[in-house]
Structure 1
Amino acid sequence: MVKHCSHGTCKSDSKYPEKLVGGIFIPFPKPKSDFDRCLCWISLCRRSHSQLNVDKITKHTYLCSKVSIILFHSTEEYPDPCDAQTGELQRARRNIRYMDQQSRSVETSIIQNRVRQLDEENTCLRQEIEKKNKLSDAACQTERNRLFNAGDVSKSKIKNLFKFYTELTYARFVMLLTFLFPNSENPIMYEDKRKEVHVNRFPLSQHVFMYLCKLRNGLNVKD
């Protein structure tokens, strides 16, 4: 198919490539895909309606770039050919979105409401975290305030804490205590010269409890 240039009075065609001087043929914008640009190019070509119109634009309609600086200075700033009559180039049209005062106010209000909503959510989350931290600190303080004896350890909120220290449940510990000392008398006596003499002030159950802790966890006398 022979290619012809549709621009102005240009008579370039592909039959005589030597006349193009190394130029190329550029396809015309198609009405179906780029209708507005197609109309713009038709207008810039300055040909009569009978010679060039939307109905005559096909895949075989071209412009040549023989003198690209004058005829077709195609860049992002000047994407269209020059006017065939005046030789002037037109800058690319930019799609600028203009907002009236009311639209700006509405958009600003939406943004402010969203920011306010996020601030409220952030405040609620901070309060919830602080509340949980206080509960956790209170629970830890409760555990720290407990005495380290069989009765208090058995009542701890920490699961299986008594078994962790003694390897026995509290019920079995009571059974062992009853089996070893049915009369609830303390047969354990320390010499007066020994440093452990103050242990005599502990009840019998505490003696057994500390002994089991020592066996289970390898604690020493200082512990």
Structure 2
Amino acid sequence: MVKRCCWGTCNTDNRYPERLDGGVIFVPFPKLGRNREKAMKWIKLCGRPHSQLNEETLKDRGKAKHLYVCSKHFVNGQPSDRYPDPIPASNYEVVTPCRKPPAKRPLNFSSTPAYESKRQILSTVPYMEQQNEEESIKTPLEPPEADHSCSYSDIGPRSNDEDQPQTPNPFCNSQLDLLALVAENTALKEEKEKLLQANCNFQHQFSEQQQSSIKRFAYQNLSNKDCHYYTGFSKEQFDDIYTFLVPTADDPIKWSKSIKGSKVLPTSDQVLLTLIKLRQNFDFQHISHLFEISSQDCSTIFTHWINYMFFRLGGLVIWPHRDTITEHMPENYKKDFPNTFVIIDCTELKVQKPSSLHRQSQCYSDYKSATTLKGLVGVDPRGAVIFSSMLFSGSISDKDITEKSGFLELLSNLIQCGKLQTGDGVMADKGFHIEKEIDALGLKLNIPPFASCSAQMKATEVTETVKIAKHRVHVERAIARIKQFKILSGKISLTFFSIIDQIWLICCLLTNFMPFLIQDKDI
């Protein structure tokens, strides 16, 4: 390991043997976490520029492990009890040995001293109290003897009247005065402790009031406009989503003790955090500032809630019965395609380029000229999502994704359970060459007619193309609504690949909590 001396202009380095003459040893720099005061003192003594040697340098383990001070800069060639620190690199500083601890001086109570300070008074209190107790035990009723050595001439002239009481000497009862001072000192200490406790309580109450006065970023403090901006839903729609996800008062997710953010944030704010990430795709660092938790906790909470929402939303039966679709079908659509109950289309999501060349070739899309993931979406005549596949590599064709996504198998199961009938239609674009597969199920495929190479399209074919395009545009509007979740509209990070299928399905099904795509004015 590289060892360099960080003292002043010293260039001692264990990589250069010529600089190690005289048996130089390296003394490691004090650790900032173990002895902060000593580490800061050594920084000052070494005299390096602040940009080269500072507190941040010691916090960086990669740099701190190479910091040493060679034995050339110690008084005895190495740290000792008397000189534990290196000599200063600056000329104006002087090396001073460690101060010896002060010796305890014995107290002499042979005679009553002349007390000059409070410290001396307090130091002699235990002895005085013990002496008074012994005297009180020996002669409890005997009054204290007068100190005849005291002189009254210094106090004032004596009166000629013998009956007049003499003025007592204030120094005669020094022990009683001392006890009075001790009692007063004890009372003052108790009063000081009470005032300090009252001040501490006041500061605590003031800080709580100040924190409560500041509105924390939370769902309860958001207006309806702000909630729609952050999540894409109004507060009423958010309440519907939350009621569906959390039907009971219990926390649906069991958190480990290491995730402190789950204890700080209530469940509603955890759902808000997840929807903010889906809708606005803010960095976790930014979200951590909003909710005042760590970015790592934000990432963990988001991942747990994505898996839980996938479990809840993935269990829904989102394909309604054909009679229900017919009842809510727009009039213009019912007039043109009364038996077509689903419109399908594919969409692609751009992703970061994988490092593997094989993965790059699989995900490369000629249509987008980028690495993408591809998904299949099916909507009913009013624009609600009733089918969503998992994501496939961008190079897959529309026909292959229709087969591998399980859409044809789903149609067969719907016919068996009565939700579809033989002769019902499926609307798609020209790229879906699945007419044989749809006919094998007993259904009809409505796609725009193809123009022949020799002649122009017939008038009936043009009319049919316009009619299909007029209604097929709603699936594209539904896909555009899904991509309003910015986590899908931008280039998806490779870090989300483990949960990208869950994110895709959740964003698709969350659009069903929004108002109908085709309103009455569009019918």
Task: Report the TM-score, using the length of structure 2 for normalisation.
Answer: 0.20
Considering only CA atoms, is the larger Rg found in Structure 1 or Structure 2? 1
User: Larger strand proportion, structure 1 or 2?
Assistant: 2
Task: Report the TM-score, using the length of structure 1 for normalisation.
Answer: 0.44
> Larger relative contact order (C-alpha < 8 A, sep ≥ 6)?
1
